[in-house]
Amino acid sequence: MAESEPQEGNCDDMVKIIEDLNRDLEKLLDEVEKLTVQTISMTYDMVVLCTNPDLTNSISHLTEVFQSCKEEIEKKWQDMPTE
């Protein structure tokens, strides 16, 4: 009987080790998945920009127009009387 107790302890230790490994593997797989999605997104953006150079100019123009509108709205907002 005394011999079966250490084996149960070893079995419990192994189960805990395997559960820890599973948890660690899941975390690592999640991180790899996130990095993969980011990489695919970056690659897609690069391909789009390389195949259509006008897109870069359009994005720059839209960014400038957005900033201009944002500044105007902020000015108008500050000039409004507070009620």
Same domain as 36, residue 19 = yes
- Most distant CA atoms of the chain, gap in Å: 88
Residue 7 lies in a domain: no
**How many residues does this entry show for the chain?**
83
How distant is the alpha carbon of residue 11 from its chain centre? 38
pLDDT of residue 83: 55
Residue 8 lies in a domain: no
pLDDT of residue 45: 83
Contact 75, 69 (CB under 8 A): no
Same domain as 21, residue 39 = yes
pLDDT of residue 82: 66
How high is the mean pLDDT in each 10-residue block of the chain (83 residues)?
Answer: 60 91 95 95 85 82 93 84 64
In the 3-class helix/strand/coil scheme, how is 25-42 assigned residue by residue? HHHHHHHHHHHHHHHHHH
How far is residue 50 from each of residues 39, 41, 46, 61, 63, measured CA to CA in Å? Answer: 16, 14, 6, 18, 19
Same domain as 44, residue 33 = yes
pLDDT of residue 77: 81
Q: Domain total for the chain?
A: 2
Residues of the domain holding 25? 14-51
